Amino acid sequence: MQNFWQDLPRPFFALAPMEAVTDVVFRHVVAAAGKPDIFFTEFTNAASYFSEKGIESTRGRLAFTADEQPMVAQIWGNNPEHFAFMAKGLATQGFAGIDINTGCPDKSVIKQGSGSALIGDYELTAKLIAAAKEGGLPVSVKTRLGKFKIDEYREWLKFLLEQDIVNLTIHLRTRKEMSKVPAHYELITDIVKLRDEVAPQTLITINGDIKDRKHGEKLAQQYGVDGIMIGRGIFSNPFAFAKNEPGSDCSGQASRRVSNGAPAPVETRAADCPSQPDPGSVDKRQELLKLLNLHLDLFDKYSPELEPRRFDPLKRFFKIYVRDFAGASELRERLMHTKSTDEVRQLIN
Ligand SMILES: Cc1cc2nc3c(=O)[nH]c(=O)nc-3n(C[C@H](O)[C@H](O)[C@H](O)COP(=O)(O)O)c2cc1C
């Protein structure tokens, strides 16, 4: 079995799967701003995939392009037969891995016995993981600490680690806590110890409230975890994965501008070394609006190529790019009344 997980840098950085957010368009924008080491699709229902119209109904959320590797399909459901069918299909579609969602707190998902409803259901979860492995792709799991009490993590994570999975991502909160309390970093040491005892071959990725690469690197160094997953951090800083923190190879953006004016060496201009501007500067506004323009262009490109997309949901992304500069809220307000990507371009340009 080809297992890309072993070849990832340590720590590796993952963009969290986020429903209605991390589609093929937004993932490309994030990659241009600062590339994560691994991508996940939005979660995709195995029952839908299994249905007669499965390929059509799941096409949008499973769409990805060749440059987005390693790409992991995140799946949810509660039927092993669906999981086995989907796992085999995903392997032929070029995915590098499969991730099983056992953490979603959404009521409609729980009602279907899926997502975080699986926490504590050892028998079914074991069957689902085994079924997902039938596709031949490396299988990982994303979960929460427990349903109601943080102490549940000892039994639950131990059980998951016993299933011989390649990576376990833990959103460091219970389902009940939603995202309302700080992530429980105080448990990481114990979780890593548990992993070392039960399944030293399984990688541990932590998730919850991690702001950016610098923050993630600090946590990885402190706790010895393998991977860092960032979700909402990308909303307040689309450059969250960029490597150009002071002292790193990419720190030269500012000095490039003030030095002798010669172009920077090509390698420091790679996608993971974008020009991360100073907060509050004119540069920052330009860089953010450049990303918005890219988002619009990719929306127009992938909509006809991969899956038709409605314009209105695009508006929820505006606040990521139109922020932290004079006149931002006024511009955002006007953007909310637009009806096409061209109208948006006219306003921002
Ligand atoms: C809008 C939104 C959609 C989400 N969709 C998914 C999903 O499809 N699958 C999943 O495993 N987690 C999903 N999550 C949870 C995130 O992946 C992540 O676990 C959570 O936001 C905590 O990480 P953060 O503090 O870095 O955001 C979603 C979160 C948000 C905010």
Provide the percentage of residues in the chain whose pLDDT is more than 90. Answer: 83
Residue 276 has what pLDDT? 53
CATH 3.20.20.70 intervals, the chain: 4-236
pLDDT tens figures, 127-178: 999 999 999 999 999 999 999 999 999 999 999 999 999 999 999 999 999 9
Residue 66 has pLDDT above 70, yes or no: yes
Nearest in space to 32 (alpha carbons), one of 323, 327, 292: 292
Q: Does domain 4-236 have CATH number 3.20.20.70?
A: yes
Does 213 contact ligand 1 (Cβ within 6 A)?
no
Active-site annotation, residues:
104
Distance CA 86, CA 90 (A): 6
Ligand 1 site, residue 192, Cβ cutoff 6 A: no
| Mean pLDDT for the stretch of residues 3-14 | 97
pTM: predicted TM-score of the whole model, two decimal places: 0.91
Cα 17 to ligand 1 centre (Å): 6
Query: How far is ligand 1, taken at its centre, from the CA of residue 254, in Å?
Result: 33
Site to probe by mutation for ligand 1, drawn from 13, 18, 40, 141 as the one with most ligand atoms within 8 Å of Cβ, is: 18
Nearest CA to ligand 1 atom 21: 231
In angstroms, what CA-CA distances link 157 with 104, 199, 216, 230, 295? Answer: 16, 11, 22, 20, 38
Is the C-beta atom of 288 inside 6 A of ligand 1?
A: no
User: CA-CA distance, 142 to 116, in Å (whole number)?
Assistant: 10
Residue 240 Cβ inside 6 Å of ligand 1? The answer reads no
Q: Is 16 in the pocket of ligand 1 (CB under 6 A)?
A: yes
The tokens describing 194, both together, are 């548990």
- Report, as an integer, the average pLDDT of 12-25: 97
Contact 277, 323 (CB under 8 A): no
Amino acid at 61: R
Higher pLDDT, 247 or 183: 183
Nearest to 18 by CA among 307, 332, 234: 234
**Confidence at 244, pLDDT banded by 50, 70, 90:** confident
Query: What is the mean pLDDT of the segment spanning 62-81?
Result: 97
317 vs 349: which has the higher pLDDT: 317
